[in-house]
Amino acid sequence: MHRSAREGTDTAARARRVVLVGVGAIAAVVAAVVATVGTSTNWFCTQPCHVVHADNTKTFVAGSHSRVSCVACHEPVNASPIVFVFKKIEVAPDLFTTIAGTFEMPLNPSSAVAIETPDEVCTQCHDLGTRQVTPSSGIFIDHDAHTKRGITCATCHNRAAHPEAGITYELPGNRKHEDWLSMSACFRCHALERPLPTPEFEAPGACEACHTEGFDLVPASHDAPDWYNRFGESGGHAAAYRAEASRTAEASAAAPAVEHPAGPVLRPAAAVNACYTCHTRGYCTDCHGLEMPHPPGFAKSHGAAGIASPATCARCHARSEAEAQGRGFCTACHHPQSTPGRAWRTQHDEVVAKSGATACFGCHEPPYCAACHVRGPQAAEALLR
């Protein structure tokens, strides 16, 4: 073939390749734009991903942000198209777990998404400079004080876009999240004690720091008739404390603390003992006159404390004012089957005849019974000494 003809053919081939590459590049750009825009719609977030986000969709639709696009909060604000594309690539592997149904539940169990959400996500719509803040009655919140310390909006308003009240979750293994707009959640950072008990606490926990003057600080539970019983079962407050201590211990073991970008290590709100949001840890001890709650081993060593100050123990453990006199109240714990108002010595035979003496030997050696029954009560008292 003539040289000029071959050159013409090569030029045409190169031109076709350039055109094809150009068309391919344009098609790739168009596809990327369509894919980015398409996967950024609420329809895509709630329908193709409906299986994994079915419960999230319920809460989203029930909230005040239901007309706001998902990406407005879940993607970087004013991000470039390139950032959006990389974000899509980053979450692409989730497609396989969604199709296979191997995704883990619950999603976002520790509300890490809220902790990682920067303020500009919220302030792109909400301007605290012009927005009137209306907290619940009796409460005032200094938003500026929190913002200056790096505490973001979603650190407290973690369920703003996905409120869970009244929602029933259906996905197996899913559960509702903590709502950090609660007093217990505030005490992940606030504390009553001074000096602060641990470094993660930074804010004061005094009532007047957040509550308006005249606000009723006493919970409704404290108005129950048996809340402060002097005798009997120590009143409702003792049972309430035991339940709260047990609950918070379980919560602390079940959920890990989360480190906030601003510095504090946030415990789960469920791990905050509600009693200590109003009372310091020494409040119980100050009222009872001895360490409260009783320290480990107190059950074995409390005899010395009781003998030194029997009236202190009697305030809770005696079942009546008459039983509180002397050491007769010991019967309330040590002989729970006894009849109040009667000396144990005059009725123990009835209990032993009915239930046996096995329980007695938890405190007494068998010779103790013989010492009294054979040699008289004075001999038994001598054994106790």
pLDDT tens per residue, range 312-331: 888 887 777 777 776 667 77
**pLDDT for the residue 168:** 93
* DSSP code for 135: P
CA atoms within 13 A of residue 136's CA, in its CB half-sphere:
6
d(CA 272, CA 184): 6
3-class SS of residue 324: coil
pLDDT tens per residue, range 259-271: 777 666 778 888 8
**pLDDT for the residue 200:** 61
**pLDDT beneath 70, residues of the chain:** 1-10, 12, 28-50, 195-201, 232-234, 262-264, 305-308, 326-328, 375-385
**pLDDT for the residue 358:** 83
CA 243 from chain centre, in angstroms, equals 15
**pLDDT for the residue 252:** 82
CA 100 from chain centre, in angstroms, equals 32
Residue 369: Cβ within 10 Å count: 16
Residue with tokens 């007769």: 328
**pLDDT for the residue 31:** 64
The single-letter code of the amino acid at 287 is C
**pLDDT for the residue 246:** 92
d(CA 318, CA 335): 12
Contacts for 54 with CB less than 8 Å, ≥ 6 apart: 170, 171
Cis peptide before 106 (omega within 30 of 0): yes
d(CA 270, CA 195): 24
Claim: this prediction has a pTM higher than 0.75 = no
d(CA 226, CA 239): 11
d(CA 245, CA 252): 11
Contacts for 56 with CB less than 8 Å, ≥ 6 apart: 107, 162
- Taking the alpha carbons at both ends of the chain, their separation in whole angstroms is 127
The answer to whether 146 and 217 are in contact (CB under 8 A) is no
**H/E element, 258:** strand 258-259
**Main-chain phi, psi angles of 168, to 5 degrees:** -105, 120
**pLDDT for the residue 162:** 93
* 355's tokens: 């239930």
The answer to whether 228 and 235 are in contact (CB under 8 A) is yes
